[in-house]
Amino acid sequence: MKTLFVITLFVLLFPVYSFPEDNPTLCIMDSNEYSSEQNPNYLLPWWNNVRIGKFAVLYVDFPDGRYINGNDTLQPFYDYQLEWVNTHGEPDAAGEMGLINEVTNISVGSKFMKASKYTWNDRWNMFFDSVGTYYGNAHPDCASHQDTAWGSMKQYWKEASNNKFELIPYLTHPNESDYKLRTGIINEYVMINDVPVIKCLKLPFKKYGSNDSNSYLRSFSSVESLDIVANRMIADATNLINNSTDFNLTQFYADGGTLFIYYAGSHSALKDIGYRSPKVSIVRGRENQITDENSRIDGFGVAAHQYGHIEFGWSHTNSGRCDIMNGGDVHDNNSPQLPNPIYRMQQGWLEPIALDITQEIELSPIETSYQCGVITIYGKPSAASDWSTGECFVVENRRRLGFDRKIIIKEILENPLYTNFKGGLLIWHYSPYYDLPEPYCCGVDTKIKFRHNDRQHFSCKTEGIQKLFLHGIKDYPQFQLIFIILIL
């Protein structure tokens, strides 16, 4: 089935909304970290080969999330220990616990706290599964919160890159024979009810406390300087790895590895902060604090976004649900949308088609064809292998396929206009020559502009449904005769 669209003014093409699904917490990155980009990618050895991303995860908890019995300070692996923490400490600082439907002695709304809810395999599968294990009700919060798995972060990057980027769980426990226990996770484990559960490393300070000398944060909703808090946690976790594990972190970084540190519980603002030298990020363990019955793990959506910053050097774009690199955390936690086509071309992941004025071409779904169209405005984009050497419009046929299945959300599909919406045309504007002005927002990439006119859309913090249209090439009338036939 073919549908004919004409690029012209006032044609309603793609219902794009900026719609935060949860707290629109901004991730924080030092934008100076991006500025020193090295050679173009197409001059690097991995170009046109499979590029490898070495990855390891560390889970940390806090003293106020621990069970204390005499001289023992233990992660609450069992419910009676968690009950002690809930009475004497801070359950939002405890590792690997969560909410379930079945009755325990600690109720939270209609749910109940459970020690050791998450298993080693739950954690490993979400990042590294490649065989379809992490799908559907494999999500550990499926029974409790109806969260569904749609594939792992490894599979996300495989799909985004057309098999040209492979996320590899780094060797962490050479003496283990089971591949999942050997790789990816730096922590040790303990067997609880015959399944391995991650043994968190205990940071030296409490999670919540009155000042910096006794804790990292003042409270769940506190607004201290989060980059300072993040740096403290990363420095302390680094010391823990070096002093209390066999893992050679120095070698890992030297091998190009990226470390993600997950801290126990949640925080309203300290969601994810990352750095590129070394490549490390601190990420919260949960969405909503544990005393909220909606509290569940974040999925890997946040991690995929942060990984875009750290591994590929990507900035934010003002692009709402049309790019994982939007600055406002607008994505499905478990099926985050794919990156914008310009960043993907710059990695060699797409097969661009050069379009001329008055040309009529078919565009297949980018999710399956890896094709996009490039309309030259100035220069010659295709002079370099990554199509970065000219000003252009990049057009793509985005469909609700694969990890883009949630590119549009339930609330929009409930609008009678879009009930059967399956996707549409997106237009991006790229210039290597000058900045494309946008409201500045959290390190946004000024070389890329998402061509929609509704200024409100570009606010990263807008709440509620923002309607926009009138895609913005009316200032380029010479291109309005190009016909794009979108293949469904």
CB 471, CB 13: distance < 8 Å: yes
Residues in region 244-303 near Zn ion by CB under 5 A? none
For the CB of residue 313, give the shortest distance to Zn ion in the complex, in Å.
12
For the CB of residue 282, give the shortest distance to Zn ion in the complex, in Å.
13
Tokens coding 367: 């999710």
Which residue type is seen at 293?
E
Shorter beta-carbon distance to Zn ion: residue 100 or 460: 460
Taking the CA of residue 334 as centre, how many other CA atoms within 13 Å lie in the half-sphere pointing to its CB?
Answer: 21
- Collapse the DSSP code of 31 into the 3-class scheme (helix H, G, I; strand E, B; otherwise coil) and give the result: coil
For the CB of residue 348, give the shortest distance to Zn ion in the complex, in Å.
23
Shorter beta-carbon distance to Zn ion: residue 27 or 99: 27
Shorter beta-carbon distance to Zn ion: residue 27 or 264: 27
d(CA 269, CA 25): 6
Place of tokens 């709440």: 463
Burial profile 327-337: b = 16 or more Cβ within 10 angstroms, e = fewer: bbbbbbbbbbb
For the CB of residue 29, give the shortest distance to Zn ion in the complex, in Å.
6
Whose CA is closest to 463, among 338, 332, 328, 335?
A: 328
- Collapse the DSSP code of 247 into the 3-class scheme (helix H, G, I; strand E, B; otherwise coil) and give the result: coil
For the CB of residue 31, give the shortest distance to Zn ion in the complex, in Å.
10
For the CB of residue 325, give the shortest distance to Zn ion in the complex, in Å.
7
Shorter beta-carbon distance to Zn ion: residue 395 or 444: 444
Helices (H), 376-476: 410-413
Residues in region 137-196 near Zn ion by CB under 5 A? none
DSSP single-letter state for residue 475: T
For the CB of residue 136, give the shortest distance to Zn ion in the complex, in Å.
29
d(CA 457, CA 469): 10
Shorter beta-carbon distance to Zn ion: residue 25 or 119: 25
Strands 135-136 vs 149-150: parallel, antiparallel or unpaired = antiparallel
Shorter beta-carbon distance to Zn ion: residue 27 or 113: 27
Shorter beta-carbon distance to Zn ion: residue 240 or 273: 273
Whose CA is closest to 421, among 433, 436, 438, 405?
A: 405
CB 192, CB 439: distance < 8 Å: no
What sign for the dihedral angle of Cα 70, 72, 73, 77?
negative
Shorter beta-carbon distance to Zn ion: residue 282 or 290: 282
Cα distance between the two ends of the chain:
6
For the CB of residue 305, give the shortest distance to Zn ion in the complex, in Å.
5
Task: Indicate the burial class of 384 (C-beta count within 10 angstroms; 0-12, 13-18, 19 or more).
Answer: middle
What sign for the dihedral angle of Cα 36, 39, 41, 44?
negative
d(CA 330, CA 391): 28
Residues in region 19-78 near Zn ion by CB under 5 A? 27
- Collapse the DSSP code of 141 into the 3-class scheme (helix H, G, I; strand E, B; otherwise coil) and give the result: coil
For the CB of residue 2, give the shortest distance to Zn ion in the complex, in Å.
37
For the CB of residue 332, give the shortest distance to Zn ion in the complex, in Å.
16
Tokens coding 85: 């923490």
Shorter beta-carbon distance to Zn ion: residue 185 or 325: 325
CB 318, CB 299: distance < 8 Å: no
Shorter beta-carbon distance to Zn ion: residue 209 or 301: 301
Shorter beta-carbon distance to Zn ion: residue 66 or 331: 331
Count of residues that bind Zn ion according to CB under 5 A: 1
d(CA 12, CA 416): 15
Q: What are phi and psi of 81, to 5 degrees?
A: -70, -40
d(CA 404, CA 416): 21
Residue nearest to Zn ion (CB): 27
Residues in region 373-412 near Zn ion by CB under 5 A? none
For the CB of residue 326, give the shortest distance to Zn ion in the complex, in Å.
8
For the CB of residue 314, give the shortest distance to Zn ion in the complex, in Å.
9
Taking CB under 5 A as the rule, does residue 94 contact Zn ion? no
Shorter beta-carbon distance to Zn ion: residue 27 or 448: 27
Site residues (CB under 5 A) for Zn ion? 27
